[in-house]
Every structure is written in structure tokens, then in C-alpha cells.
Structure 1
Amino acid sequence: MTPPTDRCGHVTTSSGVNDAGAVCCYRPTWRDGDRCLWHTETVVPTPAYEEHVPAADERLDGANFREATLSDTSFLAGCSLVEADFTDAVLDGADLSETDLRRATFRDVDAHGTSFRGANLHDASFVFADLRGADFRDARLYRAGLTDVRLNLETAFGDRTVYEDEFDAASGNDVTARADSVQWVYRELQRVYDENAFPERVHAYYLREKDFRRRHAWRTGAYLRAIKLAGSRWIMHYGTSPWRVVATSLVLIVVCAGLYPLTGGVQEVGTDSAVTYAIEDPADTPGRVLVRAFLKSLYFSVVTFATLGYGDIQPVGQWARAIASVETLLGSLLMALLVFVLTQSVES
């Protein structure tokens, strides 16, 4: 059915946009044009928009805001603006929270301080956009294109994407879909912050992505991957913290040093007569003997961890030798991890 000549008649098909569907605008034409205020090809002055404030949930799909000045406005918050065009618009300080902006275009837009909080930006496109100070917390950013955008430390995406909350509540096939969304958003944020030279934000979202991968692995039964990620988290903070590797190494050395005297002891063979340092009952052993046995075991533990193999002290008994073998293997692994993490730190 063709709309009357005094009606807009603009059709937005929203093809491929879930729950959107086609919509034909039946609003009255604006001035002498053939389209309404929201779909006209001419630049609309800000007062004209303010005189025709839409309802909070009104559908303005396909609206044309090219070169519009909407600074500090809030009348679009909560509206449906699927496939809207904001090319060259000035949006600094505008409130677009809870707005449906799927497939919207933000090219060469000034969105400094704009609130997109809770907005649906699925498949939206930001190109050469100034997003300094913009608020994207709780926004749906899956597959939103952020190309050559400008950010600063006041640009807020939140510590946790909204898709993580949905992942926690999801079941069945939705688990995989939500997991893909979470990981995509965190990777995209890492890329964008890296382009804007904010390494601390890149680091934060990298850790967030790894933490989520670990949670996802546990939930989906990929236990081997989950254990691997959990170990990476605690030992080297996903390859980002050499201090954690050092701390883990020190803990291993001290623990093994405490176990040697209790599992057969260590024997000093570099003297005229072999001396064994072992403890059968710590409660009945004098303090001086405990300290001496621990110090000798600590020395042996350091030598074993570092695979130096001086040979002046040897483990006594099968359990002590087994512990020494395990410590040697773990020591080699931890030293290799330390080199890897240090290399990563230098390259980044």
C-alpha cells in the first residue's frame, strides 16, 4: 500500500536484524520535502528535533542524522535507531543509553562524552570516530566495527561485558553463542586500545579474556584446557608476570627443602665421613638440629632446582630421590617459563 503524499513512506527493511523487521514510516513530511523530519536528506536544525521529541521506545529505524548537531541531547535515549546514519554528526555529551543502534553508522562522528550505556550496538560501525570519554558500559558490542577510532582513559567499556552475565545464565547452544560474543568483544577491545597506545587497558582485557576462557573450559567439560589455563593463571598470570614465576619457584624450593629431611634426608658426601641430615620426629628433634637439617636441605634444593648437580649432597632413600627428580623437572620447566615471560614482557 502506497502512503499518502503528505506521509513519509520511508521503508527500513532491517534485513538480517533479529526482532527488528521491516517498518514503513507514516509520519508527516517535514517542510516541503517528501520525507519526515527523521528521514529527510536535508540537515535538520537541533531545535526542530527538540520540537518533535519521540516517545522513549519509538521506532526511528533508518533515521538520517548526517551532519546533525545533537550535543547534550537526550531525546533519542531508548529509541529504536536500527540502521540509523550518524555520519559527520556532533554527538558530544548526548545520551543514547538503552538505544537500539544495530547496524547504525558512526563515521567521522564526534561522540566525545556520549553515553551508549546499555545500547545495542550489534553490527554498528564506528569509523574515524572520536570516542574520548564515551560510556559503553553494559552495551552490546558484538561485531561492532571500531575502525580508526580515538579513545582515552575516560572511555568506559566496563570491567565485564554484558555477554558474560548472559553466559552465566545461558544453557544449551546459547552457551557457545554467548561465549563467542564475550571472547570477540574482549579481543576487539584489546586491538582498539593497542591502536590507541594504552597498554594497561590491553593487559586488563587480555587477562579478562583468559579468565573467561578458563571459566568456559570448566563449564563445557574441557578439563584439560581448564587445568592448563588455571596453571598458567597462578604460575605466570597468563604469561604476563615474571614475578609470579619467581614466587612459584621459591615456594617449590622451600617446600622441597622441608620435605627432604622428612623422607630420608640428604647426605653430605664431600667431607671425610658422610653426614646424613634426616628428621624422624620433628617434635623430639632439637631446634638446632632442625635448623641445620633444613639449611642443608635448602642448599640441596636450590642446586637440584637449578640442575647444577654439584654432587656434594645427595638424597637418601627412594622418596627423597623421587622428590629430587620431580624438583629437577619442575625447575627446568619454571626456568623456561621465566625466560618466555621475560621475552614477552620485552616484546610488549
Structure 2
Amino acid sequence: WEGYYAADADFWTPHPERFPRGLYPVAEHAAARGVALGLWFSPDSSGEFANWRRDAETLLRLWRTYGVAVFKLDGVKLHTPAARAKYLSLLEMVTAQSGRCVMLQQDITAEQRMGYLAAREYGTLFVENRYTDFGNYYPHRTLRNLWMLARYVPAQRMLFELLNPARNTERYRADPLAPGRYTADYLFASVMAAQPLLWMELSGLGRQDAARLQQIIGVYRLHREAMWACDVRPVGQEPDGRSFTGFAFTSPCGQKGYLLLFRENVPESAFTFTRMPQKARLRLLCANGPVGQGYTPAGDLCLRFAAPRTYAFYQWQT
């Protein structure tokens, strides 16, 4: 996870046999389909980031040559104040010389790294690594992490993952909270308040899961910019796999926004959400099952979900 240049002076140069034209074919293929290209990159932590300038120049070259504008920064080891200072210099150089056109995704899942409140002016935060291969990915745990952190960190600044729920189902057996018991669009909705990260090979999706994701992603893309301009706060109960929970989005004007609400694996079908927009006009944008809504005499929103593991995504306006 370090000492890359000592091992190979051309470590970050595309392999001449596997990529004889460099990354041009990949970049051209992405651009033709309207896809922005992103790469994984590990800055060299050796010598307290002695090669930080060389790493920064590598990132800028990849941006200028191939148009790569997003880099996930991983393998970072900030063991000393000197290492931290040089790493920050790397972030500053790339950000400044690209005119803030390059987005740096900082992986903070391990090691000693930047946290939620440090250097907040640089990029976004890759929050967690979980895999069905290890049996440690549970949708309610990811939802809980986002729900808890959204109180203190802008939800839009964090990346949260969703996995293919059909993989490795044998590792979960009869677990009622296993990923395979959720629809793919529910998994997307559970991280939609942040930046959703499809942590999977899309070619491995089943036809029904792909169709569900296509639908909700289409809705998300229509409203993404407006959602990102909103203040996001957690509402309902703390997610634990057996709760009613969600997020309220409020626009800067305070008179419109979105509601993203969930019925987890709980037997009750109805829940009253307090501290919500009072008797706002609601428009259902997307859901994975029938849901009904009404208001109590006190003006609180009451939802009735037809089944467990159901979500509802609304647009509201006063």
C-alpha cells in the first residue's frame, strides 16, 4: 500500500500491452455515452508522502490527457503531522490547478485518515467498505450510518454503497435482515440522501433488479440537483432493521423539498412522522409498494405502508 515509485518508476503509466493506446479508448468509449470517467488512485504514503508532488502531477496529467475528473484516493497512511501536511498539499495542488474541476473522493474506511470534520473543503467522503462476500453488508446498517451522520455532516458530501442483493445469499441463510430480502430500488433509496455508489458489477444484476434500479435512478437524476441544494436531516426512528425512518429535504426557501421514508422489517404498517412539513402538498415520485398518506389533526404526516421493507419518495410543497 505504499512505495509504488520505488517498485516501479512508471507505476501509474497504463500498461503498454494491455493498454497500447493508453486510456484513450476507455475515455472515448465513456465520452460517447455521456459517462464521466473516474479512477482509483493510491497516493504514495512512504517517506511521509515524499512523492506528494509527483502524485499530484500524475492526477493532473490523467485529468488533462483523458478527462478523468474523479479520483478515489485510497491506501492513505497519515501517521505523522508531516505526512498530513504533505497530503493536504497534494489535495490543494490538484484542486487549485484543476480549477476545482477534479473531484477527490477520500476513502476514510481504515487506517489513520482524514475524518468527517477535517479538510472539508476537499472533495467527498467514501464512508464504508462492506461486502456480501464476507457476510458483513446489511442494508439497515448502512442506512443507520447515513442517518446518524446526517445530523453532523452534509449528507451530499458522503458516498454510501449499495450491493447486488442476489449475490452470496447462502452466507445469510434465514437472516430476516439479509440483503436478498430487499428490492434493489430499496437499497438505492436507502443511500439516496447521500451520493449513491453502486458497489457491484452491473453485468451481474438480474433482469428485475436492473429494471427496478433503472426506474429509481431515472427519478433520482431528474431531482438530484434540487436534492443536493437542500438541507437534509434524519426523521423518524433510528434505523435498526425494525423501525420507521427516513430523511427530510428542505430547500433554501423553506417552502418545498423532498421526503424519503422507510418501513423497515417491522410488523406494524402505519407510522406518524412528527417534525415534518405541516400539511404540505405531497407528490409521490417513486415507491416499491403501495403506500397511503394522511395527516393527523395535529398536522403530522401518517403513512401506511403495504409491506415491510418498503420506501416512499415524495416531493412536497407548502
Q: TM-score, normalised by structure 2?
A: 0.32
Larger helix share, 1 or 2: 1
Task: State the structure with bigger RCO (CA 8 A, min sep 6), 1 or 2.
Answer: 2
Q: TM-score, normalised by structure 1?
A: 0.30
Larger strand share, 1 or 2: 2
Structure label with greater radius of gyration: 1
